[in-house]
Amino acid sequence: MTDLILPILLTLMTAATPLLFAAIGELVTEKSGVLNLGVEGMMLMGAVSGFATWHLTGSPFLGVLGGMAAGALMASLFAFLVLVLHASQVPTGLALTIFGIGLSALIGQGLVGVAYDGLPNLAVPLLSEIPFVGPLLFNQDALIYLSFALAFGVMWFMNKSHSGLVLRAVGDSHDAAYAMGYKVVRIRFLAILFGGAMAGVGGAYLSLAYSPLWAENMTAGRGWIALALVVFASWRTSRVLLGAYLFGGINIIQLHAQAMGANVPSQVMSMLPYLATIVVLVLISRDQAKIKLNAPASLTKPFHPSV
């Protein structure tokens, strides 16, 4: 039984990690009162930039940094448009996704078919030798460890730190925060940059670890799932962590079901993560009072300091 369960759990962790990075980044962005629908485009740019950086330098560490930088650069473009030029957040985010899809395909033309061994695992001495638990928790790649540290770090930041309280105040009432002397535009700009950087890392994980190669549109809708995860989690970090692993589990069902010889069309199995996303959003949207209670009150609302 252990030989059957352990590979499933290991695959689950790799499937959930890119969702966790992207969703936590978007959570911080939305907590500041900004909705960025460009997560899919930022993840794709992170994936192609991370893989291209590894291909040029031979360093997976620099590859991850390249993906992070690409996501942050895309996010800075979005931030300039919505915070400085006061463009509408929803269409600007959609345009960012379309732009990222096209630009990543252009940049990645020469990378198709390039082979890569993937990120190496970092085994924790002694702990990694514990049966079952060791290989599962203490013999993973660096980004899986980082994703857990990020989740708990953001949880502490949001709930225990003064800066996290300020960020939440800006998201709940930017006018009141501005009246108290907080620099709303700067805070939101930094939150958007963080969200973009994390989406870039999530994309880089796809091309450097999950399936170590570059393929056009390889995120396959994960950016949209990450957006749904934030709503599913009611804007709470702990629920984002749970939701990422839940949706990651749904995503790998198709792989293990086919390996076990399940007589189900592959197309039906492939649509499960997106079907689950739709079902969850429909169920959540039925309780509008709960959404309004948990969502940042200033989400998607433009801020005009002169008014």
**What DSSP designation does 58 have?**
-
List b or e across 170-203, with b for residues whose CB sees 16 or more CB atoms inside 10 angstroms.
bbbbbeebbeeebebbebbbbbbbbbbbbbbbbb
Reply yes or no on whether the pLDDT at 103 is more than 80. Answer: yes
- The reported pLDDT for the residue numbered 262 is 64
Reply yes or no on whether the pLDDT at 203 is more than 90. Answer: yes
- pLDDT bin (cut points 50, 70, 90) of residue 9 is confident
Q: Mean pLDDT throughout 259-276?
A: 70
All domains in the chain, ordered by first residue: 2-113+131-294 (1.10.3470)
- The reported pLDDT for the residue numbered 277 is 75
pLDDT tens profile 223-243: 999 999 998 888 999 989 998
| Dist CA 26 CA 154 (whole Å) | 12
User: If phi over 0 gives left and psi between -120 and 50 gives alpha, with beta otherwise, what is residue 25?
Assistant: alpha
